[in-house]
Amino acid sequence: MEIKKNLEYEVEITDVTSEGNGVAKIDGFTVFIPNTAVGDKAIIKVVKVLKNYGYGIVTELITPSEDRVISDCSVYKKCGGCTFKHISYEAELKLKQKTVYDCFKRIGGFDILPKEIIGSNKSSHYRNKAQYPVGKDDNGNIVAGFFAKRSHRIIPSESCSLQPEIFSDIVTDTLTLIKDNDISVYDETAHKGAIRHIYLRYAESTGEIMLCLVSAVKKLSGIENLASQIVKKYPQIKSVMLNYNPEKTNVILGKESYLVYGKEYITDIMCGIRVNISAQAFYQVNKCQAEILYNKAIEYASLKKGDILLDLYCGIGTIGLSAADKVKKLIGVEIIPQAIKDAKINAKQNDIQNAEFLCDDCKGAVKTLLSKNIKPDVIIIDPPRKGCDIEVIEALCDFAPKRIVMVSCNPATAARDCKLLSERGYKVVEYTPVDMFPRTGHVETVVQLVRKKPDTYIDITVDMDELDLTSSEAKATYDEIKDYIFDKHRVKVSSLYVAQVKQKHGIIERDCYNNSKKDNPKQPQCPPEKVTLIEEALRHFKMIP
């Protein structure tokens, strides 16, 4: 049967993806349907048909799934921050457990079941960080809220059930003070005005709050006034910062931050360690679960007193510092200078004398450490969503530690990187999903890998291209890549540009798009911002690492 756009079909939802889309098969053809739950029987209207799959929306829910609950959020469907507000937390945990397993099986090729997912005691008000875009509504009022799904239209809403309740009061008052002090707000279309985001951070153990105003303008008259007025009302605000971000970008924070009031950081207590957290430094958003995650990582590290521990992608040093008393030496590596500054102070203020922190890209740092003949016994890695660069994977194996513990917020890249490590002499012993982000589609995973005995593995080099091209996702068509970018960013890219970026990554082209600049100097070249979007899509389809 040919599935047609705008026609209605009766379906049963059999699965839900980590993005929260229900999955139904119509005569073998896969259709993704948002805001549905496993077991729902519904009439759906097909709204988009692509080569291998389509999208639909529910027009009538015939029999609701037993997993369904009434969402406690009025803006859930518009916001896109939460993925699973319409199902119970138990059902969400089951899906996350399955997502992690599916990644490890499908991408990693591991036939090992994960340990039982560790759920969060709190599934609301657990976040310690929030970033509210600021703009004007149609009547010229200054508003803060969130961007509507896949757009930059601000939906005014200062409260969110994932965030501390006090944040919404602070945002409301900050908006009033922005207006009272005649501070302009940023207009994204005209690239004019100042305040782009209100960024708040909360340290659960001490109650300290940071208010950081992200501004496209560096010097803001009225900002000191605003700061002194807001701290009068909220004395727990110990830090008011101005972050300068003049770029035309979706990235929230710029590179420079300036102190307006108090200190440049707030202080929390994580796993018994006093930690300073700067505006730009990474800090886990769910502190309670982070402590559970770090303890699991340290358990997997199985450290001995004489060990050298290498903590790669260490942020402000949290994981390594909480294990420093178990080892002879700790070395942390992190790329953000403010985070490394915090990490060094964090070591000092906890009287930890065996820690050293390097501010560098892990890619470069591992080379330096190898050249100095440093031999870590255990390495903990906690990379960003994109996972590890191949140079880091190879260096990990050159260090030949007894154990590698991988902490990751993206099970797909974790599985990919574990596969690469397993092909280079490491064995995945055990892995545990930890839910740091209830109600959202995200899940953290911690993996224990141990070095195989030298005679039990064959050291082979795997060509990344070869790997990617044989994976099933590598078959994304040009249209799928273009649709993905348009759906996510509302940006159109041409097939020619997609071809150029595929070519840049050595994904062989067999058609007429394979003309390099040298062959045809007049050919338009893909602008850098589109290269980034296309690379993101290729990554999404696992066509590049």
Which residues lie below 8 Å from residue 466, measured CB to CB, with a gap of 6+? Answer: none
Smallest distance from the beta carbon of 392 to ligand SAH, in angstroms? 8
Number of residues that bind ligand SAH (CB under 6 A): 17
Smallest distance from the beta carbon of 403 to ligand SAH, in angstroms? 17
- Compute the distance between CA of residue 418 and CA of residue 411 in angstroms, rounded to an integer: 10
Q: Which range in 53-61, 93-101, 129-137, 308-316 contacts ligand SAH by CB under 6 A?
A: 308-316
Question: Which of 204, 361, 465, 483 lies at the binding interface for ligand SAH (CB under 6 A)?
Answer: 361
What residues are labeled active site?
Answer: 409
Which residues lie below 8 Å from residue 461, measured CB to CB, with a gap of 6+? Answer: none
Smallest distance from the beta carbon of 359 to ligand SAH, in angstroms? 9
Rule CB under 6 A: say whether 321 interacts with ligand SAH.
no
- CB-facing half-sphere around the CA of 348: CA atoms within 13 A: 8
CB under 8 A, 24+ apart: contacts of 169-175: 169/234, 170/200, 170/209, 170/211, 170/230, 170/234, 170/237, 171/132, 171/144, 171/198, 171/200, 173/230, 173/233, 173/234, 174/144, 174/198, 174/211, 174/213, 174/226, 174/230, 175/134, 175/142, 175/143, 175/144
Rule CB under 6 A: say whether 313 interacts with ligand SAH.
yes
Smallest distance from the beta carbon of 364 to ligand SAH, in angstroms? 8
- For residue 348, CA distances in Å to 215, 337, 353 come to 33, 17, 7
- The label of the residue with tokens 């590890």 reads 388
Choose between 166 and 336: whose C-beta lies nearer to ligand SAH: 336
Which residues lie below 8 Å from residue 366, measured CB to CB, with a gap of 6+? Answer: 312, 333, 391, 392, 395, 396, 399
Site string for ligand SAH, 246-285 (x = CB under 6 A): ------------------------------------xxx-
Residue 319, number of CB atoms within 10 A of its CB: 30
Which residues lie below 8 Å from residue 494, measured CB to CB, with a gap of 6+? Answer: none
Rule CB under 6 A: say whether 336 interacts with ligand SAH.
yes
- Compute the distance between CA of residue 275 and CA of residue 268 in angstroms, rounded to an integer: 5
Choose between 35 and 350: whose C-beta lies nearer to ligand SAH: 350
Question: Which of 40, 92, 382, 423 lies at the binding interface for ligand SAH (CB under 6 A)?
Answer: 382
Q: Which range in 81-89, 237-245, 335-343, 441-449 contacts ligand SAH by CB under 6 A?
A: 335-343
Smallest distance from the beta carbon of 291 to ligand SAH, in angstroms? 11
Rule CB under 6 A: say whether 327 interacts with ligand SAH.
no
Rule CB under 6 A: say whether 335 interacts with ligand SAH.
yes
Smallest distance from the beta carbon of 487 to ligand SAH, in angstroms? 26
- For the record, the structure tokens of 459 come out as 């050291």
Question: Which of 92, 307, 334, 417 lies at the binding interface for ligand SAH (CB under 6 A)?
Answer: 334
Residue 22: enclosing H or E segment and its boundaries?
Answer: strand 21-26
- Compute the distance between CA of residue 15 and CA of residue 22 in angstroms, rounded to an integer: 6
Rule CB under 6 A: say whether 366 interacts with ligand SAH.
no
Choose between 44 and 362: whose C-beta lies nearer to ligand SAH: 362
Rule CB under 6 A: say whether 397 interacts with ligand SAH.
no
Smallest distance from the beta carbon of 207 to ligand SAH, in angstroms? 20
Question: Which of 214, 319, 443, 476 lies at the binding interface for ligand SAH (CB under 6 A)?
Answer: 319
Choose between 334 and 423: whose C-beta lies nearer to ligand SAH: 334
Choose between 223 and 279: whose C-beta lies nearer to ligand SAH: 279
Rule CB under 6 A: say whether 323 interacts with ligand SAH.
no
Which residues lie below 8 Å from residue 100, measured CB to CB, with a gap of 6+? Answer: 114, 117, 411, 431, 433, 443, 445
- Please report, as ranges, the residues that interact with ligand SAH according to CB under 6 A: 282-284, 313-315, 318-319, 333-336, 339, 361-362, 382, 384
